[in-house]
């Protein structure tokens, strides 16, 4: 039995949410397995410490346990930061791929212009054969296409390239193919899955950041003397050095540039902007779509439009967690380095040592 268009839309969204939940469950299972491995390593280390207490005492009493604890904090937080970074890269690549397919499928794209130029050349040649004194288009003269057979061969090559690269879209590496008119449906569902995965990764990163910076704050409260070489600053900067898309305050630059700090957050809303472009073009060309598939404008556009608020919600949720991380970094940094809160930051030229 064929489902109604509205139920088809709901089925697609429920399927995407189910797959997102499965992905999130897998991430949680991997993190649980990783935490258990860390616990076993800690227990085995403590066992060796109890067996040979004289060797630990002869080096630095208690320092080995604290250094090992620092290493576990740094390793766990670096792993969560890497997950966020990898997902952001995948989301960016997916945006570039879908945007390139959308750009090539526009009526005013370069491939369309080349095909129309060759078709105009054929019409001109037919007029010239009928006795008209019409000059050849510059597109044919530049390519040295002076005969009708040469123009037809070039036009056939362009049309084959258009069909194979634009109309019959294929996902790189996976090899999955679909029609370019389904780009809005498959692209929107893919964006939902990727942003859902990114949200879970950002949630876990924020929780790990809270725990790690709590450790930094605990060390500072036990030794509240402000010093650039303190253990609190050492652990803080070891955590900060693993960041790429986040710019936490450091002793070198404790007031990051506003544009640089928030530019990375635009990547969270990029799927919404790309998908909105596709929906807008599909809405503008729905009259042409009815000549190919009569039901396309009814249920196809409904699915694509229903994806827009979901992408907006997921993008804003990612921005909220990213902003919470920025605020947490800034709060702890100025707590362990209170003198820098009102201090003047060196200029960009001074920081990169330019004359």
Write the pLDDT tens digit of every residue in 187-199: 999 999 999 999 9
* pLDDT of 159 above 90: no
Taking alpha carbons only, the member of 2, 4, 1, 85 closest to residue 302 is 4
Instruction: Tell me whether residue 348 is in a domain.
Output: no
* pLDDT of 276 above 50: yes
Phi, psi at residue 52, to the nearest 5°? -125, 65
Q: What digits encode the pLDDT tens for the residues 85-98?
A: 999 999 999 999 99
The answer to which of 22-36, 127-141, 158-172, 204-218 has the lowest mean pLDDT is 22-36
Give the Cα separation of 254 and 300 in Å (integer): 49
* pLDDT of 297 above 80: no
Length of the chain: 355
Greater confidence, 324 or 179?
A: 324
Q: What digits encode the pLDDT tens for the residues 250-266?
A: 998 898 888 888 888 89
Instruction: Tell me whether residue 164 is in a domain.
Output: no
Band (pLDDT 50/70/90 cuts) for residue 292 is low
Give the Cα separation of 327 and 257 in Å (integer): 14
Provide the total of helices (H) and of strands (E) in the chain, helices listed first: 13, 2
> Number of folded domains in the chain?
1
Return the top range by mean pLDDT from 26-35, 48-57, 175-184.
175-184
Instruction: Tell me whether residue 66 is in a domain.
Output: yes
Summarize the confidence of residues 137-161 as an average pLDDT. Answer: 84
Compute the 3-state secondary structure of the chain and give helix, strand, coil in percent, each to the nearest 5: 75, 0, 20
Instruction: Tell me whether residue 319 is in a domain.
Output: yes
Give the Cα separation of 186 and 178 in Å (integer): 9
Enter the pTM of the model. 0.74
- Euclidean distance between the first and final Cα of the chain, in Å? 75
Instruction: Tell me whether residue 301 is in a domain.
Output: yes
Instruction: Tell me whether residue 191 is in a domain.
Output: yes
Residue-level pLDDT at 28: 56
Give the Cα separation of 283 and 354 in Å (integer): 52
Instruction: Tell me whether residue 73 is in a domain.
Output: yes
List the domain range (segments joined by +) for residue 281: 5-106+183-341
């Amino acid at each position: 039995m064929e489902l109604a268009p509205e139920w088809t839309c709901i089925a697609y969204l429920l399927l995407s949410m189910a797959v997102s939940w499965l992905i999130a469950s897998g991430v949680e299972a991997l993190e649980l397995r990783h935490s258990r491995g860390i616990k076993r390593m800690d227990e085995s280390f403590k066992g060796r410490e109890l067996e040979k207490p004289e060797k630990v005492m002869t080096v630095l009493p208690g320092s080995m346990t604290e250094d090992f604890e620092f290493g576990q904090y740094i390793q766990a937080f670096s792993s969560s930061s890497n997950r966020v970074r990898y997902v952001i890269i995948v989301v960016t690549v997916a945006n570039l791929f879908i945007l390139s397919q959308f750009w090539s499928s526009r009526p005013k794209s370069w491939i369309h212009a080349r095909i129309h130029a060759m078709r105009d050349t054929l019409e001109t040649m037919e007029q010239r054969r009928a006795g008209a004194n019409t000059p050849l288009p510059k597109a044919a003269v530049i390519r040295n296409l002076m005969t009708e057979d040469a123009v037809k061969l070039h036009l056939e090559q362009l049309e084959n390239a258009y069909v194979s690269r634009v109309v019959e879209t294929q996902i790189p590496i996976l090899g999955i193919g679909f029609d370019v008119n389904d780009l809005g449906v498959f692209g929107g569902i893919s964006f939902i899955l990727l942003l859902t995965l990114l949200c879970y990764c950002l949630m876990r990163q924020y929780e790990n950041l809270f725990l790690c910076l709590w450790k930094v704050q605990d060390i500072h409260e036990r030794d509240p003397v402000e010093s650039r070489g303190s253990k609190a600053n050492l652990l803080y900067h070891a955590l900060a050095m693993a960041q790429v898309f986040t710019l936490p305050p450091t002793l070198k630059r404790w007031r990051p540039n506003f544009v640089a700090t928030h530019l990375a957050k635009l990547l969270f809303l990029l799927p919404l902007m790309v998908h909105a472009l596709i929906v807008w073009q599909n809405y503008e060309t729905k009259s042409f779509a009815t000549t190919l598939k009569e039901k396309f404008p009814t249920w196809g556009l409904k699915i694509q439009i229903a994806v827009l608020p979901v992408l907006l919600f997921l993008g804003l949720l990612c921005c909220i967690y990213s902003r919470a991380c920025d605020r947490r970094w800034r709060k702890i940094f100025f707590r362990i380095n209170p003198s820098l809160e009102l201090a003047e930051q060196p200029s960009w030229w001074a920081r990169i040592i330019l004359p």
